[in-house]
Amino acid sequence: MAAKYELKLGAATREAFGKALVELGKADENVVVCDADLSKSTFTHLFGKEFPNRFFSCGIAEANMVSIGAGLASSGKIAFVASFSAFVLNKGFEQLRVNVAYSGIPLKVVGTHSGISIGEDGPSQMSVEDISLACSLAGFTVISPADEVAMFSLVKQAAYHPGAVFIRAGRVKVPVIYGPDQKFEIGKGIQLTEGTDLTLISTGLMVAECLKAAEKLEAEGVSTRVIDLHTIKPIDRDIIAKAAAETGCIVVAEEHLVDSGLGVRVAQVVTETNPCVMEFHGVNNTYAESGLPEEVLEKYKMTAADVAVTARKALARKKG
Amino acid sequence: MTRTSDLSELQSIARTVRRDIIEMIGAAKSGHPGGSLSAVEILVTLYFDVMKHDPANPAWPLRDRFILSKGHAAPVLYSVMAETGYTPKDQLNTLRRIGSIYQGHPDRRFIPALEASTGSLGVGLSLGLGMAEAAKLDKSPSRTYVVLGDGEIQEGQIWEAAMYAGFHKIDNIVAILDNNRIQLDGWVKDIMGLDPLPEKWASFGWHVIEVDGHDIVALQAAFAEAEATKGKPSILIAHTVKGKGVSFMENNPKYHGVAPTKEEVELALKEIG
């Protein structure tokens, strides 16, 4: 089943974000963008070049940027603020809480360079806690697209989504999973493969790794279901409950601290609906290190082979 | 609402607002009287004379924006909003009670006419900059007024905002610094002194106007000067007295965040007249 996905390398999700912004800006002059001196990295420079009067360069001052974005949004603008995930969420968290979440302001917040796949720059720039932080903002919608197609579509939807949104983007080029006609709906997961023995649930760049892991497992005779939860909050309860009931075994894989990201949110739904065997695959209570992105991902066990190992462990438990 | 530029009328409103503040906080048995009383003339001058706004149409797009960044002075804001007709006057004494629209700090979930929910210090000026930038984009005459506490500007984000406004020449924003010189733990000068205040703001590119924050005529002139100043943001450094109008509260750090007793309420109301 998983073999039907070619997984050819595509663009980084941050680049798709930048391109979506330009398209939004062309269609709607109400769209404005703020950045904090990382516009060439977040790809908001594409918007800035096209629409300089609607682009607010805030300097290296993320807290100020988030509040300015909130002010623009509260005056009726469709406002995006962007930086590295580690900076916009950690340095802007208080402002996201008070000026955006608590105030009910529909700001769109984009964090790029998420997870550990950023590579050479190392842990100070990596964000292994952004899903946790974003999900802890009451009322926020949290989105983590797996490829450029998903990102392009979901950014454009997020712009007109009522309420505040956080979008998680990555630095590195990632495989293309979706065809150009794929439909995405905020809050609805996508089942990528059928399967009855095991479900792999993932988000962001780990979705492609789960598809590769599924191929390995299928070769071992394990019927493996793969689900992309591009929306982490609100979480798609139906797709999770169904997977739990029909496969009785779930592994969640994520490029995030394993005890506070997607996995615990999936587990909450599973325990509330159809309890089953679960295993959790992620970054274990640590910060990663510098290196080539693929080296870092390998060392910190974020590859298809590693996910398969965790899956076999879950299957063994299921068999008892 | 009644708009007026008349000094004696504005002074009379200020007296009413002071009474409201004492009664509200007295009834709530908690709250921040000192920093509410120090900002009375500032808010009365803004809401009754300077700002263009319409309590009957709070969402009017061209309205001037007001942010009480020092959100703990909520009682003075609630009083002027009630006196101008945004919110019910007869509920002022429900301050801080469960279900009241008059929450401990301003909360726009309960009062949608509020431009901002505040209470966590240091974030209001940046928020105001976003509103000011939106007005510029829309070529709207709307101006944004942000009241800051002096202790509040110890927060680093204030200086990020100050830098942004000066560099980008945001001349449709006015900060008003309620310089009452006292913060919760004591005198500002003993905790984290701010001097030289005017020089600090001027060096960030702001037009600085020093004013007696209890002199309504001086405030009117200062707001007019700010509006006439183009190419620069303006800040009024309003020299005020914490607890102004109630002798035993004036310049007394105790009344930053302590409510008056029943006897003190009576005494205070007698003094205010």
Which residue type sits at A123? P
Q: Residue A231 belongs to a domain with what CATH number?
A: 3.40.50.920
Q: Tell me, yes or no, whether A290 lies in a domain.
A: yes
pLDDT score of A3: 72
Q: Clarify whether residues A170 and A195 are in a common domain.
A: no
Summarize pLDDT for A122-181 with one digit per residue, the tens: 999 999 999 999 999 999 999 999 999 999 999 999 999 999 999 999 999 999 999 999
Summarize pLDDT for B227-249 with one digit per residue, the tens: 999 999 999 999 999 999 999 99
Q: Clarify whether residues A195 and A306 are in a common domain.
A: yes
Q: Clarify whether residues A43 and A162 are in a common domain.
A: yes
Q: In a 3-state reduction of DSSP, which class is residue A154?
A: helix
Summarize pLDDT for A289-312 with one digit per residue, the tens: 999 999 999 999 999 999 999 999
Distance between B133 CA and the closest CA of chain A, angstroms: 7
Could you tell me if A204 and A146 are in contact, meaning their C-beta atoms sit under 8 angstroms apart?
A: yes
Determine the average pLDDT of the residues in A1-28: 94
Does A68 lie at the interface with B, CB-CB under 8 angstroms? yes
Q: Tell me, yes or no, whether A182 lies in a domain.
A: no
Which residue type sits at A275? P
Q: Tell me, yes or no, whether A4 lies in a domain.
A: no
Residue by residue, DSSP assigns A54-74 as GEEE--S-HHHHHHHHHHHHH
Q: Tell me, yes or no, whether A164 lies in a domain.
A: yes
Q: Clarify whether residues A125 and A271 are in a common domain.
A: no
Query: Is A62 annotated in the active site?
Result: yes
Boundary (domain end) residue, out of A130, A147, A175: A175
Boundary (domain end) residue, out of A175, A197, A227: A175
Q: Tell me, yes or no, whether A311 lies in a domain.
A: yes
- For chain A, the domain total comes to 2
Does A220 lie at the interface with B, CB-CB under 8 angstroms? no
Q: Do A79 and B130 touch (CB under 8 A)?
A: yes
Domains detected in chain B: 7-272 (3.40.50.970)
Q: Clarify whether residues A66 and A198 are in a common domain.
A: no
The residues that bridge with A81 in the sheet, in sequence order, are A34, A109
pLDDT score of B164: 98
Q: Do B129 and A61 touch (CB under 8 A)?
A: no
% of chain A with per-residue pLDDT over 70 = 100
The range of the structural domain enclosing residue A140 comes to 9-175
> Mean pLDDT in chain B?
97
- Report the chain A residue with the minimal C-alpha distance to residue B135: A75
Length of chain A: 320
Binding-site residues on chain B for chain A (CB distance < 8 A): 61, 108-109, 115-120, 123, 126-135, 137-138, 156-157, 160-161, 163-164
Determine the average pLDDT of the residues in B80-103: 97
Q: Clarify whether residues A27 and A165 are in a common domain.
A: yes
Confidence band for B267, pLDDT divided at 50, 70 and 90: very high
Q: Do B137 and A53 touch (CB under 8 A)?
A: yes
Q: Tell me, yes or no, whether A1 lies in a domain.
A: no
Q: Clarify whether residues A149 and A221 are in a common domain.
A: no
Q: Tell me, yes or no, whether A115 lies in a domain.
A: yes
Give just the sign of the alpha carbon dihedral B159, B129, A159, A9.
negative
Q: Tell me, yes or no, whether A3 lies in a domain.
A: no
Give CA–CA dist B135/B101, Å, rounded: 29
The single-letter DSSP state of residue A127 is B
Residue by residue, DSSP assigns A67-98 as HHHHHHHHTT-EEEEEEEHHHHHHTSHHHIII
Give CA–CA dist B203/A138, Å, rounded: 39
Active-site position among A62, A129, A148, A254? A62
Boundary (domain end) residue, out of A122, A154, A175: A175
pLDDT score of A2: 72
Confidence band for A1, pLDDT divided at 50, 70 and 90: low
Q: Residue A71 belongs to a domain with what CATH number?
A: 3.40.50.970
Check whether B2 has a pLDDT greater than 80.
no
Q: Clarify whether residues A168 and A191 are in a common domain.
A: no
Q: Clarify whether residues A224 and A147 are in a common domain.
A: no
Q: Which residues contact A241 (CB under 8 A, 6 or more apart)?
A: A269, A270, A273, A274
Could you tell me if A171 and A118 are in contact, meaning their C-beta atoms sit under 8 angstroms apart?
A: yes
Check whether B59 has a pLDDT greater than 80.
yes
Q: Clarify whether residues A80 and A153 are in a common domain.
A: yes
Distance between A70 CA and the closest CA of chain B, angstroms: 6
Check whether A4 has a pLDDT greater than 90.
no
Check whether B111 has a pLDDT greater than 90.
yes
Q: Clarify whether residues A170 and A269 are in a common domain.
A: no
